[in-house]
Amino acid sequence: MQQLDQNAPTQDGQPRFVARCPKGFESLLAGELSSFGTPQVRPLRGQVSFGGTLTDAYGVCLWSRLASSVVLELGHVGAQSSDALYSGLYDIPWEDHVPMGATVAVDAHGTNDALRNSQFVALRAKDAIVDRLQGKRGVRPMVDTHSPDVRVSVRVSRDRAAVGIDLSGRPLFRRGYESTRSQRSGVVPLRPDYAAALLEVGGWWRACRDNDPALASLYCGTGTILAEAAGQALNRAPGLLRTSWGFTGWGGHDGDAWNALLDDARERAEEGEAHGCTLVAYEHRGNVQAEARQTLRAAGIHVEPRFVDAPQVPACVSEASGRSLLVADLSWIEADEVATQASALSALTAAITGLPQGTQAAVLSPNAMTDRVMGGSPVEETSVLVGRDEASIRLYDLAEAPERTTVELPGRGSTPVLVPTSEQFARRLAKVARLRAKWARREGIDCYRVYDADLPDYAVTIDLFQGSQIMPARGRRGRWLQVSEYAAPREIDPALARERLLDVLSIAPLALDVRPENTFVHVRTRSKGGSQYAEAGRGLADRRRASRPGQVPLPPGSHLIDEGGLVFEVNFSSRLDCGIFLDHRETRAMVREMAKQTMGSKRFLNLFAYTGTATCYAADGGAKHTTTVDMSAPSLDWARRNMERNGFVGEDHEFVQADVLRWVSDQRRTKNRWDLVFCDVPTFSNSSRMSGSWDVQRDHAELLIGISRLLTRNGVAVFSCNRRDFKPDVDYLARYGVKIEDVTAQTIPEDFSRNPKVHHCYLVRRTEIPTRP
């Protein structure tokens, strides 16, 4: 019969325990346990072993913020085969651990060549335990995998298996306040143990020695970081709210020792209320402020967090009397989301400038993207896994960060920049913004382009959108910026290009009186066919509620704007394009005037319709029947909402989901004809829903011939594309009775005059086909 390894469970007659934790937490957890006075602490892989008494283990369960579970080691058994595992487990005196009538469950982890399935390991372990108990007592214990009285831990590693009693029960990072979250914002909470690790790396425990320590939390999410920080500052045990533990049903439980620890923890929590702390937070991913406050209340913490914009963080932190720490959770950003990274790093740049002397910053980040902002490599780095993705907690000493240039904008304030030449960009933007605002007021235009790559080193476009007059945002009209940047040429240092973009995102909201969270970024790549979006910034705007009953619903993240006396829906965060192309403002106005002058049936056709803005203009111009065609169902739904908001409803306005090229070909064989057609084509498309690919230069002639056959005798089509070097095949079209007239110059708005090739626009008419000689 196999014997237990007596050296594993005990040392000097004392029991041995392991505190398990996420990968990367081992040294942090070992330091935490040592701070408790826990003896014989030794970090291992994915866990920390320690000695002491059962009271020491109870204390770790109650006070550890980093451990996931605490296990009392019973020994190591052979795992060379399932029979060896069964035999070793059967020899353990389970009657000393499982009381009569108690339920049991087995958690199994790890495999080897002989035991390749953890579920099978759990099954064999369970059989050994219940067989032993049945043999000793004559009664087979019940198994409860959900809420057992005794949970047995079995971990297979190579040819051995560690066996123990799980004293914690549910994972220790289940503090007891998580279940109250409504998650209306859709923001995924940071797990409490990860929040605690971020605070541990930052040395928050040092700040908590002072009265009124200050925590600045960037992207605090639903408040986990705030709850963990305040709980530590107020000396509240993280396990104080838990109502169930794994040891309460265990045969070796010492109730008196546990109750004494609980009484002490409650007393310390009451005394800690007098210490106080300051919580300053910046967070604009959805409407999470209410959820963060709810999390604090659920945790029993009566500290009101102060939510501010990123530039206000330093001043708010300075008001506290104690030491301070800045933490930022950027783990929610995908590693390849350049635009979202830029928005987050811009906020981080503003938040760290002017913090009190000695403040450090701890950042949970998917990569080293924060090094540039913080001025160099971290003084400490802890590699962790967030889900299955690699990340790191990076600690920066802000005293060692280089002094940054500050840009002053008269009447607006100042902002730090990473690149000194960004001051020139700021002056240029401020000047252009003043001129554009005067022009826009004079012309009655609310949404327009402010900056169009005026400086070669700052090759971005900046569009300003203002909310509709019919739907003011919280007492005043909303304002949003859409920033688009071409990817830098290969000869430009990518790090320098990133820093310039960060500076743009710091300067533009300040210069144009737009909240930073209402600034959205698109990064584009240059292609032969014109600009093609490579990535769209998710943006950080608040979600809006749907409209009141009886009104057209407004999807989350969407807003309403005005143009030409009409109302349109835009969304800067969910799509590559926001829903309206500002460079076609004059084109849409021309379509409306043409619709007014159209005689006869007054039928309008919109091809590649996107969100149907041109259809709204045509209907406003008197088109009696409209047909809106696009391959995207969501775009057609958007177009339908735009039409309904402007009062154009009924059977005379149809929406068709179809491959436009095939649809035009099919319609040529019907009697359907239209007086006015608008067709704004994509530069290139190879969608799987299309019959083949589309290239505007290669395929435009066949499309225009097809469209011309759908026109009435006096009908006209407006054709546009945004390929910069596009050239219509005039001769080929003429041979098939199609006349094309270039009207591009008439359709370029004043705010796009710096880039006259932003689009091409033509009037297309049908003529007699020339007779061949």
* Domain match, 716 and 598 both: yes
Q: Rounded to whole angstroms, how far apart are CA atoms 651 and 670?
A: 20
* Domain match, 426 and 392 both: no
> How many other CB atoms sit within 10 Å of the CB of residue 731?
8
Q: Is 555 helix (H, G, I), strand (E, B) or coil?
A: coil
CATH of the domain at 88: 3.30.2130.30
Confidence at residue 538, expressed as pLDDT on a 0 to 100 scale = 40
- At residue 609, what are phi and psi to the nearest 5 degrees? -70, -20
Q: Rounded to whole angstroms, what are the CA distances from 341 to 154, 366, 403?
A: 42, 10, 22
Strands (E), 474-610: 479-486, 519-527, 530-536, 558-563, 566-571, 603-607
* Domain match, 230 and 368 both: yes
* Domain match, 228 and 320 both: yes
* Domain match, 435 and 337 both: no
Confidence at residue 471, expressed as pLDDT on a 0 to 100 scale = 65
Q: Rounded to whole angstroms, how far apart are CA atoms 216 and 235?
A: 19
Per-residue pLDDT reduced to its tens digit, 403-456 = 778 888 888 888 888 889 999 999 999 999 999 999 999 999 999 999 999 998
Residue numbers of the chain with a pLDDT score lower than 70: 1-13, 179-185, 335-339, 400-402, 471-476, 524-550, 687-691, 770-773
* Domain match, 47 and 162 both: yes
Q: Rounded to whole angstroms, how far apart are CA atoms 451 and 436?
A: 9
* Domain match, 159 and 206 both: no
Confidence at residue 2, expressed as pLDDT on a 0 to 100 scale = 34
* Domain match, 521 and 642 both: no
* Domain match, 394 and 280 both: yes
How many structural domains compose the chain?
4
Angle between helices 494-511 and 338-352 (to 10 degrees): 70
* Domain match, 662 and 751 both: yes
Domain-embedded: residue 570:
no
Q: Rounded to whole angstroms, how far apart are CA atoms 653 and 643?
A: 9
Q: Which of 204, 198, 206 is nearest to 230 (CA)?
A: 204
Sign of CA dihedral 98, 104, 108, 112: positive
Domain-embedded: residue 325:
yes
Residue at a domain's end among 521, 536, 551: 536
* Domain match, 395 and 417 both: no
Domain-embedded: residue 542:
no
Domain-embedded: residue 771:
no
Confidence at residue 336, expressed as pLDDT on a 0 to 100 scale = 66
- At residue 126, what are phi and psi to the nearest 5 degrees? -65, -40
Let me know if 712 is exposed, middle or buried by CB neighbors in 10 A (0-12, 13-18, 19+): middle
Q: Rounded to whole angstroms, how far apart are CA atoms 28 and 561?
A: 51
Confidence at residue 601, expressed as pLDDT on a 0 to 100 scale = 92
Q: Which domain holds residue 38?
A: 10-166
Sign of CA dihedral 212, 217, 223, 225: negative
Helix-strand-coil percent breakdown of the chain, rounded to 5?
35, 25, 40
Q: Which of 93, 319, 341, 334 is nearest to 306 (CA)?
A: 319
Q: Which of 461, 463, 519, 526 is nearest to 492 (CA)?
A: 526
Confidence at residue 186, expressed as pLDDT on a 0 to 100 scale = 74
* Domain match, 345 and 212 both: yes
CATH of the domain at 461: 3.30.750.80
Per-residue pLDDT reduced to its tens digit, 322-374 = 899 999 999 998 866 666 777 788 888 889 888 887 889 999 999 888 887 88
Q: Is 538 helix (H, G, I), strand (E, B) or coil?
A: coil
CATH of the domain at 200: 3.40.50.150
Domain-embedded: residue 751:
yes
Domain-embedded: residue 244:
no
Domain-embedded: residue 569:
no
Confidence at residue 688, expressed as pLDDT on a 0 to 100 scale = 59
CB 278, CB 215: distance < 8 Å: yes
Residue 705 tokens, joined: 């011939």
Residue at a domain's end among 136, 166, 196: 166
Q: Rounded to whole angstroms, how far apart are CA atoms 483 and 519?
A: 7
Domain-embedded: residue 250:
no
Residue at a domain's end among 349, 377, 400: 400
